[in-house]
Copies of this chain bind each other. A is one copy, B any other.
Amino acid sequence: MPMKSVKHFTGDDILALPKAYRRTLVNSLNGYKSLCLCGTMNVEGTPNLSLFNSVIHVGANPPLMGLLIRPDVVPRHTLTNMEATGAFTLNHVHEGIYHQAHQASARYPGDVSEFEAVGLSPEYSRLRAPYVGEARVKIGLVVQERHRILANQTLFVVGRVEEVFVPGDALRPDGFLDPERAGSLAGAALDGYYQGKRLARLSYAKPDHDIREIDTDADLPDLTFL
Contacts and interface: CB of A to CB of B under 8 A. Distances in A.
Contact of A66 (B32, B68, B178, B206): B68
A-side interface mostly: mixed
A102 B205 CA distance: 7
A211 B119 CA distance: 14
B11 A202 contact: no
Interface stretch (A40-48, A76-84, A141-149): A141-149
A105 B175 CA distance: 20
Contacts of A20: 174-175, 221, 223
A98 B200 CA distance: 10
A165 B200 contact: no
A6 interface: yes
How many copies of this protein are present in the complex?
A: 2
A11 B162 contact: yes
A193 B214 CA distance: 11
A68 B158 CA distance: 12
Contacts of A168: 5-7
A163 B11 contact: yes
A151 interface: yes
Interface in A168-203: 168-169, 171, 174-180, 182, 184-186, 188-189, 191-203
Interface of A: 1-2, 5-11, 14-15, 17-36, 53-66, 68, 70, 90, 92, 95, 98-99, 102-108, 112, 117, 123-126, 131, 137, 139, 144-145, 147, 149-152, 154, 156, 158, 160-169, 171, 174-180, 182, 184-186, 188-189, 191-207, 209, 211, 214, 221, 223, 226
Given A10-B162, A29-B63, A54-B57, 5 more contacts: A8-B163, A22-B60, A30-B36, A32-B32, A108-B207
